[in-house]
Amino acid sequence: MKLAIIRQRYTPFGGAERFLERALAALRLDDLEITVIARDWPKGSQSEYQRVLVKPFAIGRAWRDAAFSRAACRAVTQGQFDLVQSHERLTCCDLFRAGDGVHREWLTQRARRRGLLTRALDRLSPFHRRLLSAEQAMFSSPRLRAVICNSRMVRDEIVRYYGVDPHRLHVIPNGVDTQVFHPGLRALHRAALRQKLGIADDHPLFLFVGSGFERKGVDLLLDVWPDLEQNVHLALVGHDRRVDRYRRRAESLGLAERVHFAGPQQDVGPWYGAADAFVLPTLYDPLPNAALEALSCGLPLLTSGKSGAAELIEDGINGDVRDALDRNGWREILRAWSDQGRCAAAGGHARQAVESLTLDAMQDRFQTLYTQLLSRS
């Protein structure tokens, strides 16, 4: 079977790219030939997958997105694939994986935190108008046979906004490597990393992992952190082009000794091992891989209701869920989970929430869907 997977651009620390790397690893089957169609993508072993790079000339995000869509669809026509799975909003795909969620919903959530002028600019933006048009066209395309949603939240949003038949929407959560991310990382890394950071073992450490600090709620964390006990620390792991602005803000709030900017990390395992709990007050996140990894490591998860990971949380048992803009609610749960004993007791429940979401389980679900689609063709 010839499978094409379309993703415009590779970002080393992007969640979608990390998912694709895992999916490609999980789908190494003798009867499956995989081709990645992209603008930029690192070289992989030819025994794993082929690469088709398309780099049409373009200036600006809207033009670049439209140009890539046209070029990718031409590559699909030339490749004669059995199935085309896109992670971009294209009308030439058989399957769309909604790993980035629903753009209409993202703009709705984003507007909650923006002023009148910036909301108006978003509505007039050629890039957002282009994506909304592409999203509408794709979900209306007669070629689209199935949509892969990584959470029930995304499935329900697609039905609500675009009226897609729920039978064509398949919830396949991201897989997490439960052998790599496990509670044993605590014994391996906690003491050494805390010593490096200057954090005592009996001082609570919350961990944030993510790229794009504004969307994922770092502003809220900095707002509420001065209200917590002086021994409560926060580690921020991830990339943001305005990280210096966040660092200066933390310093101005007197948090320089308690908020640790770690930058992007190829190996996040030691940070999960050093932390007591994981925080992600994201404005919108279909199903963040970092949240799954944290749960797999036995960390209670504090996240927002517009995160697909909230579906895995039993409030007060393995974490808590609050609205992304509810500062009082976040103060409440951060104070509650600053109890290290409570975090440790929740570890087993956190791990249990993701034990069924293995890479093998994801592979089986993908393979079952591909087989169903091929049998109907």
The domains of the chain are located at 2-175+358-376, 185-354
Per DSSP, 305 falls in state T
Of the candidates 312, 301, 293, 255, which has an alpha carbon nearest to the alpha carbon of residue 276?
A: 301
- Per residue in 250-306, pLDDT (tens digit) is 999 999 999 999 999 989 999 999 999 999 999 999 999 999 999 999 999 999 999
Mean pLDDT of the chain: 91
Residue 22 is predicted with a pLDDT of 61
Residue corresponding to tokens 């803000």: 249
Residue corresponding to tokens 């001082």: 203
> Per CATH, which fold does 185-354 belong to?
Rossmann fold (3.40.50)
> 185-354: same fold as 2-175+358-376?
yes
Output the six-digit token pair for 294. Answer: 């944290």
DSSP string, 256-277: TTTEEEEE--S--HHHHHH-SE
| Its pTM surpasses 0.75 | yes
* Residues in Cβ contact with 44 at an 8 Å cutoff, skipping those fewer than 6 apart: 24, 36, 51
**Distance, CA of 39 to CA of 53 (rounded, Å):** 5
Asked whether the predicted pLDDT for residue 70 surpasses 70, the reply is yes
Residue 16 is predicted with a pLDDT of 55
Residue pair 224/327 in contact (Cβ under 8 Å)? The answer is: yes
- One-letter identity of residue 272: Y
- Per residue in 225-237, pLDDT (tens digit) is 999 999 999 999 9
DSSP string, 76-133: HHHHT-SEEEESS--SS-SEEE-TT--HHHHHHHHHTTS-HHHHHHHHH-HHHHHHHH
Output the six-digit token pair for 83. Answer: 């199935």
> Per CATH, which fold does 2-175+358-376 belong to?
Rossmann fold (3.40.50)
- Per residue in 109-145, pLDDT (tens digit) is 999 988 888 888 888 899 999 999 999 999 999 999 9
